[in-house]
Structure 1
Amino acid sequence: MNADPAILYASHLAELQRRAGAALARGGFDHLVIPSGTVHYQWFDDRDYPYAVNPQFKAWLPLLRHPGSWLAYTPGAKPKLVYMQPRDYWHVVPEAPSGEWVPHFDIVIVHTPEEALQHLPRDVARCAILGEPQGAPAGYAPNNPPAVVAYLEYHRAFKTPYEIEMMRRATRVGTRAHRAAEAAFRAGASEFDIHIAYCAAARQDACELPYNNIIAINRHGAVLHYMDLGRTPPPQARSFLIDAGASHAGYACDITRTYSADRGDEFQALVDAVDRAQQAMCDQVRAGFDYRQLHLDAHLSLATILRDFGLVRVSPEAAVATGVSSAFFPHGVGHGIGLQVHEVAGFAASEDGGAIARPDGHPYLRLTRTLASGMVVTIEPGLYFIDMLLEPLRAGPQAGSIDWKRVDAFHPFGGIRIEDDVVCTEAAPMNLTREGFANA
C-alpha cells in the first residue's frame, strides 16, 4: 500500500464524492451540505463544553477545531469549503488552510456565520444538510434525510486506504502511550498519575483523546467503564486494566491491556490465556464471516478458559447455554471503529437502512453485520469478577456450576480485557494494534 498521505487522500476524497452522489440520488437532492458544528455552552454558566466536530464533516476534511465552517458538495463540481476564521481577540483564530487536502477544494474564508450562509447553495429545499439541529442558523437547519444518512453511514464501515493509514498513525500514538502507562503502574503511580503519564506520552490532552481513559487498578477493573481516577496508589497493587485510545486526523484507535503486578502469578496466567484466545478471535476477522457468530464463539472460548482455570465446573457449552458465561463476560466482543470509536451503522441491514438483530441473550453487542474487506473492528473479550452479576448466580440454580473459592481468589484482581483494532482484508486480517506494539 502506498502510504503517501497526499495520494491516499486524493483517492479517499474521490470515493467520498462517489458515495455522496449516490446518496443524493437516492434521497432526491442536488447538494450535500455539512456544517462542522458549533460550540455549546453549559446551562446557567458561560463555560463551553469541549467542541466536537461533526463526524460527517471530518470524513471529508482533517479539520477538528473549526466550528462554524461548512462543506458543500454538488456532484460534478469541486467540493467547497466555507472556512470560518472569526475576528476574535479572545481566542486563537484558525490559520489559513494548509495541507495536502487544500488543492481539492474551492475555499472561501469567512468571518461571521451570516457571511458563511451567503456561500451555500441557494435552493435549500434541494439540500441534504447533515448535522445537529442545535445552534443551526435560520434557513439551513439540518434535515438529515434518512435515505442519505443511511447510505453514507452504511458505507462508512468500509474504510479507504487513507482512513486505514490514519488509524495506523493513531495506533502508533496509542501504543506508545500504553507503554508509558504500564511503566507508570509498575513504578507505583496512582490511577490519576498513570492517566497523566499516558496523556504526556501521547502528546494529547484528555479532550483530544477519542474517549475518556479507563485506568483501573485492582477491583476497579471490575467496573467496565471505570473513570474515577484515584489520586493515591492503593496499599497493594495487584492488577492494572487500561482501556485508552488516541487520535490522528480525526480517526481513533481503541486499545485495552491488562497486567498483573506479579508477572509470574496465576492472574497473569489467566491474562495470558485470554490474550491467546483474543488473538484467535482476531484471526476470525475474515470477509464473509458473521460478526454475531464471532461474538458467540468468543463466549465458548472464554467459557473454556473458565473451566480450565477451575472457575466453573460444567462444560463450556453448558456454561454458555445457562448464561453462566455472560456473568463473567457481560459485554459485546467489539464494534466498528474509525471516525468514531463506536462507529455508526453497526446494525445496518443494507445501504437502505434496516437493522440486523443481536443474538438472543446478548443485548450489548454493538455490531451485527457480516464482515467485508475494508471494515475495521475491535476485538475485546474479557473476564470479570463483578459482584452485581455474580451475586444472582451465587443465590440461583446455577450456583453449583461455579467453584466459589476459585472466584474469591481472583476477585481482588477485578477483571481482564484485551482489545485490538483489526482490519478485514481480502486475505488474512491486519492487526493494527499488535503492529503498533511491535514498533512502540
Structure 2
Amino acid sequence: MIASDIGTAYAAHVSVLQQRSERALERGGFDHLVVPSGTLHYQVFDDRDYAYAVNPQFKAWAPLTRNPGSWLVFTPGRKPKLVYLQPFDYWHVVPEAPSGYWVEHFDIVVIRTPEEAAQHLPADAARCAILGEPQSALGDYVPNNPPAVVQYLEYHRAFKTPYEIEMMRGASRTGVRAHRAAEAAFRNGGSEFDIHLAYCAAARQDAFELPYRNIVALNEHGAVLHYTELDRDAPADPRSFLIDAGAAHAGYASDITRTYARDTGSEFQQLIDAVDAAQQRMCAQVRAGIDYKRIHLDAHLALAGILKNFGISRLSPEAALETGVSSVFFPHGIGHGIGLQVHDVAGFAESDRGGTIAKPEGHPYLRLTRVLEPGMVVTIEPGIYFAELLLDGLRQGPHADAVDWNRIEQFRPYGGIRIEDDVVCTDGDPINLTRDAYAEAAAS
C-alpha cells in the first residue's frame, strides 16, 4: 500500500475509533476518554527497567510504541488530542517530533516532563474514562477502567479496520522473512540460540521488540508448547525444528508457526505434510457465521484421523475426541484473536455489554469462543505433540490401549508439530495473511 493509501485508510480508522469511543462513553456515562501510553516498570531492588510495553488502548489510535509518558484524549465532537512527551534527556535517545501520515488527525501538544501532561487533560478527572495500568496515574488522573467502556471497546476491537489489516499484513511479511532465515539457520546446523539470532536479524527487531518470546525448539523440545530456553549448543543429531515466532509492525502483531524435518524424506515429514494439509482446510473454515468452537472441535477430529492413519491411535476420530485421547496429542486451543495484542482481547465476550461464551467442556485452553464475523482476524494453529507428561497420564489411565506405544516411541524423538497462520474473516473467502506473505517472499 502506498503512503497516500495508508493515509486514507488511517483517516477512516480514526473515524471508526471516534465512533466506537463516543458510544462507549455514552454507555459508561463519561464525557472524555483518556488513555495514557504507560510508564516504565523497574526491577525490584534495582534501578534497571523492564522492556517498555505500550498500552494497547493507546496504540490503537496512533502507531506509537516507544513513547512512555504520553497521553491520548478524546472528547466527542472534538479532534483527538495527543499529549506527546519529548523530554530533555541526555541519558537516553529522545523520541523524534511527531511526523507521518497520522499526525494531521490530532491536536498535538509536546511536553518536556511527564507532570506537564496534567495541564492538558480534561479539567474534571471524575468525568473521564481513564484506560490504563495503575502505575500510569498522574495526580487526580487515576486509571479507572470502567467496565462498560472497556467491554464495548474491546468487543469491537475484534473487528479490524482496513488500515489494521494492512498493518497486520506488514507484520506478516516481516515475520515470514524472519522465518525463512530461521529455517536456513536450522538446515545449516545452528543451535536454538543461533536460530533465534538469525530470526531477529532478518526481522530487524530485537527480542524485546517482537510481540512475544520466540519459541525455537529442536528435537524433543518441540513437545513443550512454550519452549523458550534457547540452548546454546546444537544437538548432535538435529532431527526436527519447531518455531513459533512473530513480528511487529506499527503496533500490530503476526503470529506464525512452522515445523520442519531435517530429513525431508522421513515419516516425520509425512506427518508434517498431513498436519499442514489439515491446517489449510481449517483455515478455509474461517468464514462469517462459523462458530470458532466448531473449528476447534473439527480440528480434534481431523488430527485424530491423522493419528489413526499413521498407526498411532487405534480409535476412530469421534471416539478419540469423546474419550479425551485426542487432547493428549493436541492439548491446546485451535487459536485466538490477534491484532494489537498477540492474544487479542474479548475472545469470550458474549456482547459489547459483557457476558461470557463458555468454552466446550473438556477444552479449557481455547482462547476464543465467539462466532466469526467479517473483520475478525484469528490464528489457526493445530498441533500434534509427543509430550512425556501427557503420554504418561495416558499410559496410566483407562485408555492406555487406545494407542500403539511402539509408534509413539518412533515419533517421540521429534517432539511435535504445530503449524499456524493468521487468517482474516471476510464476507467471502478468508484471507490468509501468512500464506500470502510466504507466496510473496517465494516470488521475489
TM-score, scaled relative to structure 1: 0.99
AA of the residue aligned to 2:33: L
Q: Distance in 1 between matches of 2:14 and 2:332?
A: 35
Contact 1:327 1:389 (C-alpha < 8 Å) held by counterparts: yes
2:299 corresponds to: 298
Q: Distance in 2 between matches of 1:158 and 1:239?
A: 37
Change (3 A) 1:282 1:2: farther
1:80 corresponds to: 81
1:110 equivalent in alignment to 2:111: yes
Aligned ranges 1:360-399 → 2 under 5 Å = 360-399=361-400
Q: Distance in 2 between matches of 1:363 and 1:317?
A: 19
1:123 corresponds to: 124
1:193 corresponds to: 194
1:183 equivalent in alignment to 2:184: yes
1:156 corresponds to: 157
Contact 1:2 1:8 (C-alpha < 8 Å) held by counterparts: no
1:315 corresponds to: 316
| SS across alignment from 2:45 | coil
1:167 corresponds to: 168
Q: After TM superposition, give the deviation of residue 403 of structure 1 in Å.
A: 0.3
1:343 corresponds to: 344
Q: After TM superposition, give the deviation of residue 135 of structure 1 in Å.
A: 4.1
1:426 equivalent in alignment to 2:421: no
Contact 1:346 1:366 (C-alpha < 8 Å) held by counterparts: yes
Any unmatched runs of 5+ in structure 1? none
Q: Percent identity among equivalent residues?
A: 73
2:214 corresponds to: 213
Contact 1:273 1:305 (C-alpha < 8 Å) held by counterparts: yes
Contact 1:422 1:431 (C-alpha < 8 Å) held by counterparts: yes
AA of the residue aligned to 1:269: Q
Contact 1:72 1:79 (C-alpha < 8 Å) held by counterparts: yes
Contact 2:136 2:143 (C-alpha < 8 Å) held by counterparts: no
Aligned ranges 1:402-421 → 2 under 5 Å = 402-421=403-422
1:247 corresponds to: 248
Contact 1:378 1:421 (C-alpha < 8 Å) held by counterparts: yes
Q: After TM superposition, give the deviation of residue 2 of structure 1 in Å.
A: 8.6
| SS across alignment from 1:270 | helix
1:56 corresponds to: 57
Q: Distance in 2 between matches of 1:115 and 1:268?
A: 60
Q: After TM superposition, give the deviation of residue 339 of structure 1 in Å.
A: 0.1
1:22 corresponds to: 23
1:238 corresponds to: 239
Over aligned residue pairs, what C-alpha RMSD do you find? 0.9
AA of the residue aligned to 1:181: A
Q: Distance in 1 between matches of 2:63 and 2:410?
A: 49
AA of the residue aligned to 1:284: Q
1:203 equivalent in alignment to 2:204: yes
Q: After TM superposition, give the deviation of residue 95 of structure 1 in Å.
A: 1.2
Bigger shift: 422-431 or 130-139? 130-139
Contact 1:208 1:247 (C-alpha < 8 Å) held by counterparts: yes
Q: Distance in 1 between matches of 2:396 and 2:138?
A: 57
Any unmatched runs of 5+ in structure 2? none
Q: Deviations over 1:148-189 (max 9, x none)?
A: 000000000000000000000010000000000000000000
1:37 corresponds to: 38
Q: Distance in 2 between matches of 1:242 and 1:363?
A: 24
Q: After TM superposition, give the deviation of residue 314 of structure 1 in Å.
A: 1.5
Contact 1:286 1:429 (C-alpha < 8 Å) held by counterparts: yes
Runs of 4+ in 1 over 3 A off after TM superposition: none
Contact 1:206 1:212 (C-alpha < 8 Å) held by counterparts: yes
Contact 1:69 1:116 (C-alpha < 8 Å) held by counterparts: yes
- Count matched residues: 440
Q: After TM superposition, give the deviation of residue 14 of structure 1 in Å.
A: 0.3
| SS across alignment from 1:134 | helix
